[in-house]
Amino acid sequence: MPLLNKLGFAAPRPSGPAPTPTPAPDLRRLRIALTVFFALDGFVFAGWVVRIPAIKDQTGASAGQLGLALLAVSAGAVVTMTLTGRLCRRFGSIPMTVACGVALPLSVALPPLTGSVLVLGLVLLFFGAAYGGISVAMNSAAVDLVRALRRPVMPSFHAAFSLGGMLGAGLGGLVAGHLSPTPHLLGITVVGLAITAVTAPALLRHGAAAGLGGAAEAAGSTDTNTPAEASATRGGPSRMDRRTRGLVLVFGLIALCTAYGEGAIADWGPLHLEEDLHAHPGVAAAGYSCFAFAMTIGRLSGTALLERLGRTRTVVGGGATACAGMLLGALAPSAGLTLAGFAVTGLGLANIFPVAVERAGALAGPGGVAAASTLGYGGMLVGPPLIGFMADWYSLPTALTSVALLAAVASVIGLATRRTETNERSGTGSRTDSKTGERTESV
């Protein structure tokens, strides 16, 4: 072909419309807009969490009744996560992110308006549905953006969630003594809707310009693509074969191991410091803060870590680090060493969940994100009760070592799935059947 050009013959043009490269500024602006939604999710959820004690007093709920009401958050989230994966395929992950970005701030204003435990449980069902929906939609959009950027930036989105949560919790702590839950959470609603109104147009516009997460793309509406190309463009097959489904569940199990530890430290870490180590209540309260701050730092540096080590080494090393840190945090004889152990655990667990969700989404699109997220959320749901049961049977320090055990399990699973990362890099890890539209994985 170069010889023909030199002789003056024009090279034949390929048939079909010329591909339009994605402008880099669109991807950068899309990343910023999506990061804002992750931070908003963390901010709204943390604002609700810090007002749980006040709402408990307002409704006159007992500890058991409150536990049942809070279970509605988990139930709404788990049910909606699966549904949202399907809706993302039909309408697009970015439009679904915007829709849930409206529903979540609206739903957080409802709990302080309730006067009974039954009504509280019903509105928390709606709140959990909005929270679960935005989690799947955002992560699905993020998986598509990671693929387009060709950089492992998934941890940066989860770092934004952590930062939003820290901001929401800090602000809630400041105003809790001066405002009742009603004006506080209503203020969060106003702020959340304002942020969504400002950010949503940019998210939709740049998402459409980049060709990511839109309704047309999610539906695979193209005249020139083959079924295999359409499936790849949608970010995953419409149907998972057995091998792909198995891999998605494996990555979901990794997410579960991470979320189990996060939920356990949040609920039981301060109690361990105060009751077992006789720490001052202020020191005990700092237990989860040390963990959360270290996790945020780990996620902020996650992209650089992934680019240097790769996904497998990051998961394996992170799981091993979290295992060592939690053994120190659970068995150390002093509060200072326990706080240090919690911080090391946060650093180790920081990037495992984002990597697991990203790899599940790369395999199966929004359905993979939904499955992995549901399993991960299940780990956060079952972790605290299991810790409580084990603490009754043995002791709280012994029960907390289960966090170290599951971190080690995540590390082993990450090592066992290392060949999938090699296949993804070489492009031989998956193929799509042009007749059935199903994608199969080589492991």
Distance CA 417, CA 428 (A): 15
Q: Are residue 211 and residue 278 in the same domain, yes or no?
A: no
Does residue 409 share a domain with residue 292? yes
Per the CB < 8 A criterion, the answer to whether 229 and 211 are in contact is: no
Asked, for residue 229, whether it belongs to a domain, the answer is no
Count of domains in the chain? 2
User: DSSP string of 298-335?
Assistant: HHHTHHHHHHHH-HHHHHHHHHHHHHHHHHHHHH-SSH
Question: What is the Cα–Cα distance from 75 to 246, expressed in whole angstroms?
Answer: 24
The pLDDT tens digits for 338-372 are 999 999 999 999 999 989 988 888 888 888 888 88
* DSSP code of residue 336: H
Task: Judge if 53 and 144 occupy the same domain.
Answer: yes
Please report which residue ranges of 109-153 form alpha helices under DSSP H: 117-149
267 and 414 assigned to the same domain: yes
Q: For residue 327, is it within any domain?
A: yes
Distance from C-alpha of 95 to C-alpha of 203, rounded to nearest angstrom: 9
Same domain, 247 and 353: yes
Q: How far apart are the first and last CA of the chain?
A: 39
CB of 422 closer than 8 Å to CB of 441: no
Evaluate whether residue 6 is within a structural domain.
Answer: no
The domain that contains 266 carries what CATH number? 1.20.1250.20
Digitized pLDDT (tens) for each residue of the chain, 443 residues in all: 444 344 344 444 444 444 444 446 678 889 999 999 999 998 998 888 778 878 888 888 876 777 788 788 888 888 888 888 889 888 999 999 999 999 999 999 999 998 888 999 899 999 999 998 999 999 889 988 988 888 888 889 988 988 888 888 788 878 877 888 899 999 999 999 999 999 999 999 888 877 776 654 444 443 333 333 333 344 444 456 778 888 889 999 999 988 888 878 877 888 888 888 888 877 776 777 788 889 889 999 988 999 898 888 999 999 999 999 999 999 999 999 999 999 999 999 999 998 998 888 888 888 888 888 888 877 877 777 788 888 888 888 999 999 999 999 999 998 888 776 555 554 444 444 434 344 444 33
Residues 271 and 185 in one domain: no
For residue 177, the enclosing domain spans: 24-215
> Does 225 reside within a domain?
no
CB 338 within 8 A of CB 345: no
433 belongs to a structural domain = no
Whether 209 and 277 map to the same domain: the answer is no
Same domain, 326 and 385: yes
Does one domain contain both 204 and 247? no
Looking at the structure, tell me whether residues 261 and 188 fall in a common domain. Answer: no
pTM of the model: 0.75
- Predicted pLDDT at 8: 41
